[in-house]
Structure 1
Amino acid sequence: MSVKEFFQIKELPFNNAPDLKYYYSSKPHQETLTRLRHVIENRKGFALVTGQIGTGKTTLARLLFEELDPQLYETVLMIVVHSEITSEWILKKICTQMEVENIPSDKPGMLTALYKRLYELNEKGKKAVILIDEAQMLKHRDIMEEIRGILNFEDESGKLLTFIFFGLPELENNLSMDEPLKQRVALKCELKQLDFESTKNYIMHRIKVSGAKYNFFADDAYRSIFEASVGIPRVINTICDNAMFESYLIKEKVIKKETVDQVANDLGLLAL
């Protein structure tokens, strides 16, 4: 008998992959989405979403990408995987993703071609949006200068392209390499950890989505999960997933506080 069969669920609910069907609309996340929609709709140009590891930045970026109607928005989601990319690379990537035809090989040519494409999209009534996840990996001054240059593309109604950066708190320090760019940030949002009630609701939501017929955590287990995870969704998932497996091994269909505490201890987390 597998873990899924033991708990009578269709799939494991606490994987850390950014599966949008498990998205829990906490108040901080919902408020951030509302603010980002405002920035995009009004073509304000540049917004930052920062937060500690595991607070849901990637999920939020993917959710925003999925919800923007392709009939109204030309949206690109870019994920930065290392810190050695150049300004030329990112400019060419933007041109490619924005479907610029016959991309020139030189930077001035690329900028001119990108401007024409953005102007064309604007004439068609489409807003151009670029979401960049792991943006703290953008560490070179010339990249910041390139972004600032693109933000100069505008008309009387606003910017022709809106950037939204998602990253760790150090992202703000990176922006300090180009003070004029930092001054152009129209919105800053910091994703906070979940409080106790949101943590409990988050867990129950994921259990429900997995097809469970009952909430298999004991009432007093939620407090231990919250205290050990300090409300960080990724850590909540790790604790819950391990607790499910340990409970499966000892054939307990209700996961006890003691099991959660042991898992948290094994993971090197503080469980009170």
Structure 2
Amino acid sequence: MSYYKTLNLNKEPFSTSPDPYFFYPSISHKQAIQRLEIAIRLKRGLSVILGDVGIGKTTLARSLIQELHSTNGAITHMILDPTYDSEFQFVTTLAKLFGIRGTFRSTLDYKEAIERFLFKKCVDEGHIISLIIDEGQKMSLSSLELLRTLLNYETNEYKLLQLVIMGQMELLPKLQRIHNFSDRISLKYILNPLDISETKNLIEFRLRQAGANSGKEVFTEKAILAVYQCTQGYPRKITALCHNLLEELIMKDRRIVEEDLVNEVIEKDRKVVLVS
């Protein structure tokens, strides 16, 4: 039996999978979502979201897609790993992603086909086409150059392609190396870690989403403080640690996560890291 069923929960509350159902909108994440929605609906073109590993960029992206589904005419595509060997491989991938059919022999042919597609969908049919790229720091300069070209496709009033690039902090200097790319950024936003209050709210939110009784204490205040001090407010670290804590809770036949249990699990993980 899964540990969450032992705790009378309906779902795994601390999975590290980017499930929008468990997305806790901290102040930073909520502002990012809101500003992205505005930029996309106003067809501003390029938005860049930056943040360290484990800050919640992928979950944010999936939550954004969910929000955009309620927008009439919105069509959203996502690339999780933008690692391509060449510009040609990238442009052929984009054409397939957009559902463009035909025989094209060169990168230029593909670019022209994508331009025609965007004009048809966005101008003639009134759609909003968005492309969200995760792990943007992995992109080659040739791939970024291709995106710069796609951002040139526009009417007098708006950009045809709404591009959101999410990446780690090293993405920004890479963008700045490309002529006329960084000045095309209409929205640049840096995601911040959670504070202690938001860490508590995230833990309690995920437990409620998993079916926990809102009046039942699962983590003591001191335990939550210990979790925060260990994770420094990074959502992925918080969920991974809390998952281990609930497993340990069951194995020790306890009902509440207290500070001593948090310290014990942290020390156990530290020893595993040292051994490996």
Q: Normalization by structure 2: what TM-score?
A: 0.92
- Secondary structure in structure 2 of the residue aligned to 1:155: coil
8 Å CA contact 1:4–1:10 kept in 2: the answer is: yes
1:107 maps to: 107
Deviation at 1:2, TM superposition (A): 4.7
| Distance in 2, Cα, partners of 1:103 & 1:211 | 52
Q: Does 1:160 align with 2:160?
A: yes
- Secondary structure in structure 2 of the residue aligned to 1:162: strand
Q: 5+ residue gaps in structure 2?
A: 272-276
- Secondary structure in structure 2 of the residue aligned to 1:4: helix
Deviation at 1:105, TM superposition (A): 2.3
Deviation at 1:50, TM superposition (A): 0.9
Q: From the superposition, tell whether residues 148 and 261 of structure 1 become closer, same or farther in structure 2 (CA, over 3 Å).
A: same
Structure 1 vs Structure 2: percent identity of aligned residues?
26
Q: Does 1:3 align with 2:3?
A: yes
Q: From the superposition, tell whether residues 36 and 159 of structure 1 become closer, same or farther in structure 2 (CA, over 3 Å).
A: same
2:142 maps to: 142
8 Å CA contact 1:247–1:253 kept in 2: the answer is: yes
Q: From the superposition, tell whether residues 215 and 119 of structure 1 become closer, same or farther in structure 2 (CA, over 3 Å).
A: same
Q: Return the match for 2:225 from 206, 223, 226.
A: 223
8 Å CA contact 2:9–2:212 kept in 1: the answer is: yes
1:79 maps to: 80
| Distance in 1, Cα, partners of 2:210 & 2:133 | 30
8 Å CA contact 1:79–1:133 kept in 2: the answer is: yes
Q: Deviations over 1:78-129 (max 9, x none)?
A: 1116x44321111111111122221512111111111111000121110111
Q: Counterpart of 2:76 in structure 1: which amino acid?
A: T
More divergent stretch after superposition (87-96 vs 253-262): 87-96
- Secondary structure in structure 2 of the residue aligned to 1:125: coil
| Distance in 2, Cα, partners of 1:143 & 1:2 | 43
Aligned pairs (5 A) from 1:1-272:
2-69=2-69, 71-80=72-81, 83-122=83-122, 123-138=124-139, 140-213=140-213, 214-268=216-270
More divergent stretch after superposition (158-167 vs 103-112): 103-112
8 Å CA contact 2:37–2:68 kept in 1: the answer is: no
Q: Counterpart of 1:256 in structure 2: which amino acid?
A: E
Q: 5+ residue gaps in structure 1?
A: none
| Distance in 2, Cα, partners of 1:75 & 1:105 | 27
Deviation at 1:66, TM superposition (A): 2.1
Q: From the superposition, tell whether residues 268 and 116 of structure 1 become closer, same or farther in structure 2 (CA, over 3 Å).
A: same
List structure 1 segments (4+ residues) > 4 angstroms apart after TM superposition.
Answer: none
Q: Normalization by structure 1: what TM-score?
A: 0.93
- Secondary structure in structure 1 of the residue aligned to 2:181: helix
8 Å CA contact 2:19–2:62 kept in 1: the answer is: no
Q: From the superposition, tell whether residues 25 and 229 of structure 1 become closer, same or farther in structure 2 (CA, over 3 Å).
A: same
In angstroms, what is the RMSD of aligned CA positions? 1.6
| Distance in 1, Cα, partners of 2:87 & 2:72 | 30
8 Å CA contact 1:75–1:129 kept in 2: the answer is: yes
| Distance in 2, Cα, partners of 1:5 & 1:211 | 10
Q: Counterpart of 2:136 in structure 1: which amino acid?
A: A
| Distance in 2, Cα, partners of 1:117 & 1:66 | 24
